[in-house]
Amino acid sequence: MPPDAPEPSVSSPPASSARNRGELRALLALALPLCIAQAGQSLMGLVDTLIVGRAGTSALAAVGLSHSLFFAVSSFGMGLMMGVDPLVSQAIGAGNPVRARSVLWQGVWLSAFVGVVLWGVLISVPSALPWVGVAEEQIVQVRAFLHFRAPGLPLMLIFLTARAYLQAIGKPRPLVVSTVVANVLNLMMVPLFVFGGSSLPAWAGPLTRVPAMGAAGAALSTLLCTAMEVAIVARAIRGIPVSGKPSLLPVVADQLRAFRVGLPIGLHIAAEVGVFALAGVLAARLGPESVGAHQIAIAFASLTFTMALGIGNAGSVRVGWAVGAHDTPQARRSGFMAFGTGAVVMALGGLVFALFPGSLARLAGAPPEVLPLLLPLLMVSAIFQVFDGVQGVGAGVLRGAGETRFTFVANIVGHYVVGLPLTLLLGFGLGMGVLGIWWGLCAGLITVSLAVLWRFWRVSAGTLRPLEQ
């Protein structure tokens, strides 16, 4: 049985209140380290933005567009590998740790294959940028950035697969350790690679000969840090004993099962990230100031969204444990507790955005020409924080229940039927610029959040069944 397995149901109100408090404590105990690990991943991107922003508006715009393109391509692979999440957590809930370890290995094989394929796709994307009106100066920097960022794709997907296993067995500590180490290294390497080592003192030795790489230097730093993260979690997993012999070699049937579960997740995340990437491309058509403001606002919003992702991952695990143990009432309780916790946490993040937009802009080192565009975007972000949190947590909760197709449909409708038309209308039709683009994104997030909340309420009212009987 998993850690903190659910107790048999008791019907009295005091017992129900005690179960809710226990559920909240258990959720937070798992969610906190996952939030830290998730925030650490986003923090590397934020550090890149803050440091490269000091290299000028053109470099900042190139990093913003590059990040958008990278996540537009990699998001499908990230979601696809999340198909491992419910398979592992439900196996743990069913008391079968050997099966969970076997699923991990099949996920690693699948991650390597998918990552290499997407690597090839990513390095070909810059060739299409002239068709959407991106300036040649930015395209050169984007191509250089992706040259170093793309090789990290297989490593990143393997790390996500290892994360699914570690969170499912209730041992997220290696994720926190790897994230902290990676962020410390990134903080030291990004300034060196971006600006070069010529200004370092003579005692720095070979570091003084490091050339200034501009935006591409941030990508190289991220690649090295991702490799370090994979090494740390791989060593941690090797030290976790399992009685029995898991399948280490590729098993096509298991990989196809993970693929079928993960495909709707990959499509849903690709749809969500894709609309934000499209927003970045549209902002680029408005000029480097608009895309710079868009990138800084996205970097801050992504950092707070990691809290929702961490809570959603914890909710996915706890729902998966309960489904594996054939305890639908506990799965329902775990899911709604995750929804509520995510909404509260993101509301606090939105409050920070609303009260301190100027301080956040100064922290980002926004150039003077970017500042007037950035402050309104931070206020819009403050408004959609709660809805963004609900849809992020909802995706995790539904994933734990094995419900992955509906989230894809909800994202297509919310972002492309509702959000994108409003983005084009407000941003370009009514001349609101990048602010109109963000209001359109906000409308899409509200639609998706309401849809996933309704779906979990409906499916958890019945009987939730494991993916593997």
Has residue 178 got a pLDDT over 60? yes
Percent of the chain with pLDDT over 70: 93
> Does the pLDDT of residue 337 top 90, yes or no?
yes
pLDDT at residue 42, as a whole number: 73
Q: What pLDDT, in 10s, does the model give residues 109-130?
A: 999 999 999 999 888 887 777 7
Mean pLDDT value across the chain: 84
- Span 168-187, average pLDDT: 90
CA distances from 296 to 57, 289, 375 (A): 11, 11, 10
Q: Report the domain count for the chain.
A: 1
pLDDT value for 10: 44
CA distances from 145 to 64, 150, 159, 279 (A): 11, 9, 21, 20
Domain that holds residue 172: 24-459
Q: How confident is the model at residue 12 (pLDDT cuts 50, 70, 90)?
A: low
Asked if pLDDT for residue 317 goes beyond 70, the answer is: yes
Residue 133 predicted with pLDDT over 70 = no
Could you tell me if residue 362 is inside a domain? yes
Is the model's pLDDT at 410 over the cut of 90? yes
Q: Pick the residue with more confidence: 34 or 158?
A: 158
67-101 pLDDT, tens digit per residue, is 778 877 888 888 888 888 888 888 888 888 888 89
306 in a domain, yes or no? yes
- Mean predicted confidence (pLDDT) in 320-337: 90
* 383 or 49, which is more confident: 383
pLDDT at 320 over 50: yes
User: Would 467 be classed as within a structural domain?
Assistant: no
Give the pLDDT of residue 142: 83
The predicted model gives 427-431 an average pLDDT of: 85
Confidence of residue 296 (pLDDT cuts 50, 70, 90): confident
**Is residue 16 a part of any domain in this protein?**
no
Give pLDDT, residue 262.
85
Check residues 395 and 303 and name the one with the higher pLDDT: 395
Q: What is the pLDDT of residues 225-258, one digit of tens each?
A: 999 999 999 999 988 888 878 777 878 888 888 8
Instruction: Give the model confidence (pLDDT) of 346-373 as tens digits.
Output: 999 889 888 888 888 877 767 777 778 8
pLDDT of residue 432: 85
Q: What is the mean pLDDT of residues 264-268?
A: 86
Please state, in angstroms and rounded to a whole number, the distance separating the CA atoms of residues 282 and 260: 33
* pLDDT for position 3: 55
Backbone angles phi, psi at 23, to 5 degrees: -65, -40
Which has more confidence, 372 or 328? Answer: 328
* Residue 8, pLDDT score: 44
Query: Looking at residue 258, what is its pLDDT?
Result: 85
Which pLDDT score is estimated for 2?
60
CA contacts within 13 A on the Cβ side of 128 = 8
| Total Cβ atoms within 10 A of residue 357 | 20
Q: Is the pLDDT of residue 9 over 50?
A: no
14 occurs within a structural domain: no
Instruction: Indicate whether 302 belongs to any domain.
Output: yes
For residue 18, is it within any domain?
A: no
Residue 442 lies in a domain: yes
Stretch 256-273: mean pLDDT, rounded?
85
For the residues 422-436, what does the mean pLDDT come to? 87
Please give the pLDDT value at position 68: 74
